[in-house]
């Protein structure tokens, strides 16, 4: 069970995982040792899955985002395993979601430029049979949140 301090700690860590425990403790009105114990408990209970560094995509040479809608005619376990292996083997594919409705999957790709999409397309279709793929180039990122709301957990 989380209280308001736990939620605030999680909000602060989502915004900056490198924030000093003393600074977090000041914000949530706890001693540094009590705050540290709470953070340890939140990790142990799985509320904090991991801490990561978010890289600047432009500086990394990957300013282009392409979303790919995939339809497949196959849904058996063997094909699904192949598909999971295929998308996992391509680092430019940074997210894959299975969908309801008319399409089966949406993939998020980060690329150096639009032309590089063809390289990824060829690598993917060389590994797995797909019925249809449609690419959509992101023109602008309107919102990019790395954290999740903390007000839904009890």
Q: What pLDDT, on a 0 to 100 scale, did the predictor assign at position 76?
A: 87
Q: Are residues 80 and 129 in the same domain?
A: yes
Indicate whether 80 and 123 sit together in one domain: yes
Q: How many domains does the chain have?
A: 2
Residues paired with 134 in a beta bridge? 69
User: In the prediction, which pLDDT does 74 show?
Assistant: 83
| Chunked mean pLDDT (size 10), the chain, 154 residues | 96 97 98 98 97 96 98 90 97 98 97 98 95 97 95 88
What is the Cα–Cα distance from 95 to 93, expressed in whole angstroms? 6
Residue 20: inside a domain:
yes
- pTM for the full model? 0.90
The predicted pLDDT at position 154 comes to 78
Are residues 107 and 95 in contact, defined by beta-carbon separation less than 8 angstroms?
yes
Residue 52 is assigned to a structural domain of this protein: no
Which structural domain, as residue segments, surrounds residue 39? 4-44
- The pLDDT assigned to 66 comes to 98
Supply the pLDDT for residue 73: 86
Structure tokens at 108: 């998020």
- Statement to judge: residues 68 and 126 lie in one domain: yes
Residue from 1, 4, 10, 36 nearest 147 by CA: 10
d(CA 154, CA 3): 8
């Amino acid at each position: 069970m989380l209280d308001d301090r736990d939620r605030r700690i999680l909000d602060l860590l989502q915004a900056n995982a490198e924030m000093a425990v003393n600074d977090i403790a000041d914000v949530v009105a706890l001693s540094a040792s009590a705050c540290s114990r709470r953070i340890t408990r939140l990790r142990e209970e799985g509320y904090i899955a991991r801490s990561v560094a978010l890289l600047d995509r432009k500086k990394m040479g990957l300013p282009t985002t392409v979303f790919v809608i995939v339809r497949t005619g196959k849904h058996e376990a063997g094909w699904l395993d192949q598909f999971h292996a295929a998308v996992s083997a391509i680092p430019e594919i940074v997210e894959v979601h299975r969908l309801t409705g008319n399409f089966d999957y949406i993939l998020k790709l980060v690329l150096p430029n639009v032309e590089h999409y063809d390289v990824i397309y060829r690598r993917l279709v060389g590994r797995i049979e797909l019925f249809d793929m449609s690419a959509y180039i992101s023109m602008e990122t309107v919102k990019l949140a790395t954290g999740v709301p903390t007000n839904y957990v009890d």
